[in-house]
Chain A
Amino acid sequence: MKTTLQLGGTALTVEYTQSGDEYAAVINGQSLRARLLSARDGILTLLVDGKPLRVHVASDGTRTLVAIAGNVYEFTQAQEKKLRTRQREAGRLDPEVRSPMPGKILQVLVTEGATVESGQALVLLEAMKMENTLSAEGAARVKKVHVAPGELVELGQLLVELEFVEPAVTQSQVN
């Protein structure tokens, strides 16, 4: 049994064999032996090196979420994130600024044709009772503004289109 999972920017290849309730897994070259003591209602109890671990698991279709001891791990199937990840790895920024949550546009701080610096505020969005600033990821020219102040926007709605002026470099490449 072999699957590839995506955790943030990292691909994890999980290969395992099962014998009874014993699992021997190799994950990106690291081996892990575990006993599955119980699995029901989204709660798994694993025994790893004699240590019991209570693991909560839930899935909402695109994501599989796993909670262990206060940490949450968000896995996606490898194929879905491939395109975006490849873009990011190549250092390309997304020219489409989309709403990260439903809310109301308070202010549009740029006009079409204007040039903006990296980090410059583009749109003020009120969501969940807070004012949130959406900024340019890199130096760019504003190609098109799709929203106006007072407008209600949905999650993922296109707000502003940018044209990056120079080969932009993502944050992750700088670090």
Chain B
Amino acid sequence: MLHKILIANRGEIAIRIARTCRELGIATVAVYSEADVSSPHVPAADEAVCIGPAQASASYLNAEVIIQAAHYTGAQAIHPGYGFLSENAAFARLVRDAGLTFIGPSPESLATVGNKIFARRTAAKLGVPVVPALEQPSSDPAILREQVRALGYPLLIKAAAGGGGKGMRIVRQDKELVEAMAAAEREATAAFTEGTVYVERYLERPRHVEVQILGDMHGSLIHLGERECSIQRRYQKILEETPSPAVSERLREEMTAAALKVAKAAGYYNAGTVEFILDNQGRFYFLEVNARLQVEHPITEWVTRLDLVREQIHIAAGERLGLKQDEVRGHGHAFECRVYAEDPAHGFFPSPGKVLVWHAPSGLGVRVDAGVEQHTEVSVYYDPLIAKVSTWGPDREQARRRMEAALRQCVVLGPTTNIAFLLDLIAHPAFVAAETHTGFIAEHFPQWQPQSAMHVLEAALAATLSQARRSRTETPTVQAIANTPWRQLGGWRLGT
């Protein structure tokens, strides 16, 4: 068994991983950038190491310093979380070469599934359906136009090394093609240092359905059912549920079998996700493998009653899977809403800033994975995710109503957030009827504005009373509290 794990991440996922480690009696090491000295993931661990300046490229993506930090602290294993270095085969190899355990798949599997073009070909060879695509688009605009003619518009441009919507562009007309390719390449280069893009046919009104898999190093491979993540903005998920209302028992069998086939061919172990898109005829197509713990894993934990991080750690320690496929049961229904510091009334533009007030919802069937607390700065350097609110219910409607109640309880003051938007989203008749697809937000909420008329008089009175009270009793300002030196004493830093 492992006795000390370094968590090479920040925010809610670092806190969530540290939590399971504590339950298992495993010591943890947090790493943090200079911008994160007062972030709550630092005190969530037993030790903390500063790994560099705010820019992720110099800190959370700095493989060598992270491995050095593991050596200094005596950690035996590194959990990469999601994003950052989690799917980086070179990093996984460095970790292994340093005599440490990478909590994830092997570097070889990461390399196999990490290249989307290669993963597509592998899937196609196995007889798993894939979306028609152009794998090697020409850099010559005239040839490119000719090449994509066979696919037909609309098209979707994707980064070969990509994920999270970065480098993705929908192209509806010929004249948009060249500019969109350039933009996608730029975004891909910035995000993954690898600018290769490819083009595939864009399916209208598809659902995004993914299968959670779990495998050990002894050849056992099981699935934990599917998640539907169709509700997206800027090609990124904001609301997920399991099971998918669009997946019948028969379709589930087919999709999970396809997922396991792809994973097996890649020699995959540890936790992973095989993503599919499902068209409105019930046909599914392989998209890609996410070779890491997913952001939305809590909903699978709700319905399977498993702790995926615990499973990951056991697998990485070389243990056999603790359960067989027929022991996996889905109970009830779960939703996850991602609370982001962003402005849904203005194109979901990020809204960084200090969190003045944070109040997490709670109650039966409610789980909150938060990366912030009062006074935390939502930094411009990282993903603006504030918290994930997930709810469970015996059926979809009860889980949905629980989410409504939870979101009404959730308070973030400071940065603008998407909470009011999420509330409107889950109350929409088409969402209640489970008529979801990846263009849901564009179709139903093209010009969303908050319905601020609701309690406007009460809010105005409260603001007035609060101002009157403040001018009577001057309390210390938020800044004065946040800047106390006590928060900065815990860690120490390496190198430089």
A52 to B202, CA, bound (A): 50
- Chain B, residues 139-150, CB within 8 Å of chain A (1/0): the string is 000000000000
> B459 near A106 (CB under 8 angstroms)?
no
A127 to B356, CA, bound (A): 22
> A68 near B459 (CB under 8 angstroms)?
yes
Distance of B342 from chain A, by nearest CB (Å): 8
B467 CB contact (under 8 Å) in A3, A39, A53, A126: A3
Residues of chain A contacted by B478 (CB below 8 angstroms): 60
> B459 near A73 (CB under 8 angstroms)?
yes
- The answer, yes or no, to whether B462 is at the interface (CB within 8 Å) is yes
Residues of chain B contacted by A36 (CB below 8 angstroms): 465
A16 CB contact (under 8 Å) in B410, B417, B420, B461: B461
Count of chain B residues with a beta carbon within 8 Å of a chain A beta carbon: 52
Given A58-B413, A73-B452, decide whether A128 and B467 contact each other with a Cβ distance below 8 A. Answer: no
Nearest chain B residue, comparing its CB with the CB of A65:
B413
- Chain B, residues 332-360, CB within 8 Å of chain A (1/0): the string is 00000000000000000110101011010
- Chain B, residues 401-420, CB within 8 Å of chain A (1/0): the string is 00000011011111011011
- The answer, yes or no, to whether A14 is at the interface (CB within 8 Å) is yes
> B463 near A56 (CB under 8 angstroms)?
no
> B452 near A56 (CB under 8 angstroms)?
no
A7 to B423, CA, bound (A): 21
Find the residue from A16, A36, A69, A129 having the highest chain B CB count within 10 A: A129
- Chain B, residues 353-391, CB within 8 Å of chain A (1/0): the string is 010110100000000000000000000111110000000
B191 CB contact (under 8 Å) in A27, A57, A103, A129: A129
Residues of chain B contacted by A127 (CB below 8 angstroms): 350, 380
> B414 near A65 (CB under 8 angstroms)?
yes
> A101 near B461 (CB under 8 angstroms)?
no
- The answer, yes or no, to whether A75 is at the interface (CB within 8 Å) is yes
A128 to B353, CA, bound (A): 12
Distance of B476 from chain A, by nearest CB (Å): 13
Residues of chain A contacted by B470 (CB below 8 angstroms): 59
A70 CB contact (under 8 Å) in B423, B456, B463: B423
A150 to B335, CA, bound (A): 40
Residues of chain B contacted by A42 (CB below 8 angstroms): 357, 466
> B359 near A72 (CB under 8 angstroms)?
no
Q: Spot the interface stretch: B182-190, B250-258, B268-276.
A: B182-190
- The answer, yes or no, to whether A64 is at the interface (CB within 8 Å) is yes
Residues of chain B contacted by A59 (CB below 8 angstroms): 356, 466-467, 470
A1 to B420, CA, bound (A): 32
Distance of B425 from chain A, by nearest CB (Å): 12
Given A56-B413, A60-B354, A130-B234, decide whether A44 and B466 contact each other with a Cβ distance below 8 A. Answer: yes
> B414 near A73 (CB under 8 angstroms)?
no
A32 to B469, CA, bound (A): 19
Residues of chain B contacted by A30 (CB below 8 angstroms): 457
A58 to B419, CA, bound (A): 17
> B461 near A32 (CB under 8 angstroms)?
yes
Inter-chain contact total with CB atoms closer than 8 Å: 160
Residues of chain B contacted by A39 (CB below 8 angstroms): 465-466, 469
Residues of chain A contacted by B456 (CB below 8 angstroms): 7, 12, 73
Find the residue from A5, A23, A66, A100 having the highest chain B CB count within 10 A: A66
Given A59-B467, A73-B459, decide whether A129 and B454 contact each other with a Cβ distance below 8 A. Answer: no
Given A58-B414, A72-B416, decide whether A46 and B462 contact each other with a Cβ distance below 8 A. Answer: yes
Residues of chain A contacted by B420 (CB below 8 angstroms): 70-72
Residues of chain A contacted by B466 (CB below 8 angstroms): 39, 42, 44, 57, 59, 64, 66
> A67 near B186 (CB under 8 angstroms)?
no
> B357 near A56 (CB under 8 angstroms)?
yes
- The answer, yes or no, to whether B455 is at the interface (CB within 8 Å) is yes
Nearest chain B residue, comparing its CB with the CB of A25:
B461
- The answer, yes or no, to whether A95 is at the interface (CB within 8 Å) is no
Residues of chain A contacted by B350 (CB below 8 angstroms): 101, 127-128, 130
Distance of A148 from chain B, by nearest CB (Å): 16
Residues of chain A contacted by B469 (CB below 8 angstroms): 39
- The answer, yes or no, to whether B249 is at the interface (CB within 8 Å) is no
- The answer, yes or no, to whether B464 is at the interface (CB within 8 Å) is yes
- The answer, yes or no, to whether B176 is at the interface (CB within 8 Å) is no
Distance of B471 from chain A, by nearest CB (Å): 11
Q: A46-B461, A131-B190 are in contact. List 9 more A-B contacts (CB 8 A).
A: A5-B464, A12-B456, A14-B464, A60-B356, A65-B414, A66-B463, A71-B452, A102-B380, A129-B166
Could you list 15 examples of A-B contacts with CB < 8 Å? A1-B468, A3-B464, A7-B460, A14-B460, A34-B461, A44-B465, A44-B466, A55-B458, A64-B467, A66-B459, A67-B357, A70-B408, A70-B419, A73-B463, A128-B350
Give B contacts to A, CB under 8 Å.
166, 183, 186-187, 190-191, 234, 349-350, 352, 354, 356-357, 359, 380-384, 407-408, 410-414, 416-417, 419-420, 423, 450-452, 454-470, 478
**What 5 pairs across the A-B complex have the smallest Cβ distances?**
A58-B356, A128-B350, A73-B459, A58-B413, A57-B466
